[in-house]
Amino acid sequence: MKRFLVLIVLMVFLSTGAAFGQSTFVSGGDLVQWSADLDAMLTGSGGGAEMVNGSQMLGYIEAVADIGQMSDTLAIPDGTNIRSLFNVVRAYLIAHPNSGSEAGCVVILNALHAAYPATQKKQSY
């Protein structure tokens, strides 16, 4: 329970931009754009900006997934690759078009939790 509370506090802190004096850090709208840019990069039609945004998308997903795993919020199976996680997040963004105004970390956590909910606590890390 303590880890879950730490996760929530961290996500609220980052989503409000308090760490950097901003009103927002990464929004769901940013994720929609980054997702499109990553698709362009993967199909070979993107340039430098798409490569940067696509890389940010993958890094952000990986960071939220790691925090979710460490806090026992997510149970992502061993061997799951970042492309699979991206596909889950992209599908969530398509299914939830109004998520653009939410904090990006919350959108990703909701997407990953829908696909990989933790069913039991881990013994150790």
- Domains of the chain: which residue ranges? 26-115
Q: What is the pTM of this model?
A: 0.76
- For residues 51-60, give the mean pLDDT: 90
Q: Which tops the pLDDT comparison, 110 or 21?
A: 110
Higher pLDDT, 72 or 85: 85
Long-range contacts for 80-89 (Cβ within 8 Å, ≥24 apart)?
A: 80/116, 82/58, 85/61, 85/112, 86/35, 86/38, 86/57, 86/58, 86/61, 88/112, 88/114, 88/115, 88/116, 89/31, 89/35, 89/61
Averaged pLDDT of the chain: 82
pLDDT tens digit string along 74-123? 999 999 999 999 999 999 999 999 988 899 999 999 999 999 998 755 54
Half-sphere exposure for 82 (CA within 13 Å, toward CB): 13
Average pLDDT of the residues in 24-43? 88
pLDDT class of 31 with cuts at 50, 70, 90: very high
